[in-house]
Structure 1
Amino acid sequence: MFDNLKSLGITHPEVIDRYNLRQEAHHDILKIYFRKDKGEFFAKSVKFKYPRQSESAEQLSENEAQRINPNLSYVIEELDQLCQQNPLEVDLKNKILEDLRHLEAVVSNKIAEIEADLDRLTRFK
């Protein structure tokens, strides 16, 4: 049971608390959170990155349709089974704050990358 989760290295799927799925560029990012042990401040989590699949190899346009990776679909099915066994009310405020912090980190990293590129350009002139 839960063979797809076990193939990801999750040896004890029963300790999964919740999961989050988001799309970033041409990838789906799956983050799985585990139940906190007593005395732990933050829940442990693991993150997996799945490339999106093209609908058709014949489509070459930049706006081509993409779909979720089939392996990710199987993992999500198993996660849904686990999470339905342990219904958890999602705190929307915390989720929004978490998403904002993630966005802030992504933007900060991209700004640093662009500034580094600019520095390289100005050094060569």
Structure 2
Amino acid sequence: MFPHLTGLGIQDPKQIERYSLRQEAHKDVLKVYFRKQKGELFAKSVKFKYPRQVKNVLVDSGSHKYKEVTEINRNLTLVIDELNKITKPEKLVETDVKQKILSDLRHLEKVVSSKIAEIEADLEKLK
């Protein structure tokens, strides 16, 4: 019933509660959250990274200038279609651009600080 989700290794797509999608550099990051099972403190989630497709688009036909643009991976769009059937997301209201940028910045801060801590811990092991 959900061939693309099962192709990702998701055994029981009916247990999916929600998902999030964000862009990092030249990749789209899909995070799928499952319903919390009895006795679990946190709900389980899995993360998938899809490289963005690169296309050259003609910008000026007179000078034959092209611009490189990226777009979402076709396989990812098929997975999102299946996720939308399961989660039935509400229509998203246009979010405040400033809030989105701040949210992305906070997420980046967390990622960088955790990576720094990981590297520092590796350095401590070498002493």
Please give the TM-score of this superposition, normalised by the length of structure 2. 0.67
RMSD: 3.4
Shift of 1:40: 1.2
Where do residues 1-125 of structure 1 align in structure 2 (5 Å cutoff)? 1-56=1-56, 64-84=68-88, 102-108=107-113
Give every structure 1 segment of 4 or more consecutive aligned residues whose post-TM-superposition deviation is greater than 6 Å. 98-101
Provide Cα deviations, 1:67-108, integer angstroms capped at 9, x if missing partner.
000000000000000001x87xxxxxxxx9x96764233222
Partner AA of 1:107 in structure 2: V
For 2:57 and 2:104, the matched residues in 1 are separated by: 33
Structure 1 portions without partners, runs of 5+: 88-95, 116-125
Q: Secondary structure of 1:47's match?
A: strand
- Distance apart, 1:39 and its partner CA: 2.2
Q: Which amino acid aligns with 2:31?
A: K
The percentage of counterpart residues that share the same residue type is: 60
In the alignment of these two chains, the number of paired residues is 103
Aligned-partner SS, 2:76 = helix
What are the superposed Cα offsets for residues 23-63 of structure 1, whole Å, 9 maximum, x if unpaired? 0000000000000012211110000000000123889x9x7
Query: What is the TM-score of this pair, normalised by structure 1?
Result: 0.68
Q: Distance in 2 between matches of 1:69 and 1:3?
A: 17
Q: Structure 2: state its 5+ residue gaps.
A: 60-64, 91-99, 121-127
Write 1 or 2 for the structure with the bigger share of strand: 2
